[in-house]
Structure 1
Amino acid sequence: MAYDIRKTQVSIEEIWHERGPRRAQPLLIGTALAVISNPHAGRYDPDLMPFQAGLRDLGRQLARTLCERLGGKHTIEAYGKGAIVGGDGELEHGAVWHEAGGAAIREVIAQAKAIVPAAKTVGAIGTRLMVPLGHIEAAYVRSHFGTAEMTIWDAPRRDEIVFGLVMATGGRTHARIGGLSVDQISVHDGQR
């Protein structure tokens, strides 16, 4: 199934400190978003699987672009994904991104083992979605629990969907609440 991309957006935040010691290099948090027409807007379709399968290339495109902008896949330590569905759609139209976006991001970042955290909503133009971040290899690395904001000023229109991937080059700048540390990841099964 083909989809029509109206626009894309890539955004990179540089975080130097959170009122504590200044980092030697900034933490980079990036979003790569695509606004597409929703082929299921305004009606109920029982089979969304072809739509989901058709989005895998979009996921790969966004993942590659974002990895490149953040310095290459070896720099990525955290990730997430999100979808904002316009008002003529339904939440399930955003849920297709779980497999399409998640599989694409793990394919591009080959060492990624952990579940890709996600958020989705139905919203109006300019909706802001906070997308959760988690470590790419282990879900229990608390230092990498964070969020990235996903928004486009003129999207989604009622018959559109905004799909996004988010990535970060590290954990929170002044993380100090314990939990599994990156150097303690051992099994590489996405958990411990």
Structure 2
Amino acid sequence: MKEPVVRKVVDCVEDTLVEGGRGAEKPLRMVACAAVIKNPWAAMDFVEDLQPQILAHAKVLADILVPRVLGQMGGPDTIEAFGKCAITGTSGEVEHAAGLIHTLHFGNAFRIASRADSFLPFTNKRAGAGTAITIPMTHKEAESKGSRAHFLTLEFSIPDAPAHDEIVVAIGAASGGRPHHRIGDRFNDMKLMGVDQAGRPLETSEDPPAEGQ
């Protein structure tokens, strides 16, 4: 079993004060923390069972990244949206990146610490050093997933990562929705379309005609 090898940890903090030429009523903070690790499957032939190394790495990564994000955000109560990302270098498989973030040993740690109950939106891909680390975010509460105000993306890069035999794993959080958001949400669209959240026609408020009419 290979022990996790973390080469560096990188933080990205972005505060939006002005949007569309107008000052934000409440500045939007978006934070990401990324770990650059040695790909535990690098230089190996096709590995059928990824689970042993996933278990060896996922909790370590969560223990490193989650407290840093919460610290930069000022605690879980300031987090309204979140997401995650993993990028394997060119000698790895996309499955290697996916394996490290699509496990409850990683994602659930972030979800619980953020006091959330929704799934984490994500990207996972293979690319070279300096590629864009793209973290899509949506509302952390399942019942608020339709809030398009919280459809956010935080993007940054690390010039020397991932190397061909590395993986970058990152998580991100936001303090709110986009400043001056005004495009409504999917729930309003559904009402206008006359369907419920499952796509079923809404019942009309009219009484059914009496029998014989």
Q: Do both proteins adopt the same fold according to a TM-score greater than 0.5, normalized to the shorter chain?
A: yes
Larger deviation, residues 76-85 vs 14-23: 14-23
Q: 1:60·1:108 contact (CA, 8 Å) conserved in 2? A: no
What residue in structure 2 maps to residue 116 of structure 1?
A: 120
Q: RMSD value over aligned CA atoms? A: 1.8
Amino acid in structure 1 at the alignment position of 2:53? F
Larger deviation, residues 4-13 vs 137-146: 137-146
Q: Which runs of 5+ in 2 are unaligned?
A: 188-196, 198-213
Structure 1 runs of 4+ aligned residues shifted over 2 Å read none
Structure whose CA Rg is larger:
2
Once the 2 structures are TM-superposed, how far is the Cα of residue 106 of structure 1 from its aligned partner?
Answer: 0.8
Secondary structure of residue in 2 paired with 1:52: helix
Q: 2:88·2:94 contact (CA, 8 Å) conserved in 1? A: yes
Matches within 5 A, 1:38-187: 38-42=39-43, 43-54=45-56, 55-96=58-99, 97-99=101-103, 100-110=105-115, 112-138=116-142, 139-179=145-185
User: Once the two structures are aligned, what percentage of the paired residues are identical?
Assistant: 38
Q: 1:81·1:101 contact (CA, 8 Å) conserved in 2? A: no
What residue in structure 1 maps to residue 37 of structure 2?
A: 36
- What is the TM-score of this pair, normalised by structure 2? 0.80
- What is the TM-score of this pair, normalised by structure 1? 0.88
Q: Which runs of 5+ in 1 are unaligned?
A: 182-190
Amino acid in structure 2 at the alignment position of 1:35? V
Q: How many residues align?
A: 182
Q: 2:7·2:38 contact (CA, 8 Å) conserved in 1? A: yes
In the TM superposition, what whole-angstrom CA distance separates every residue of 1:26-73 from its partner, at most 9, and x where no partner exists?
A: 210011000000010133111111222221231132011111111111
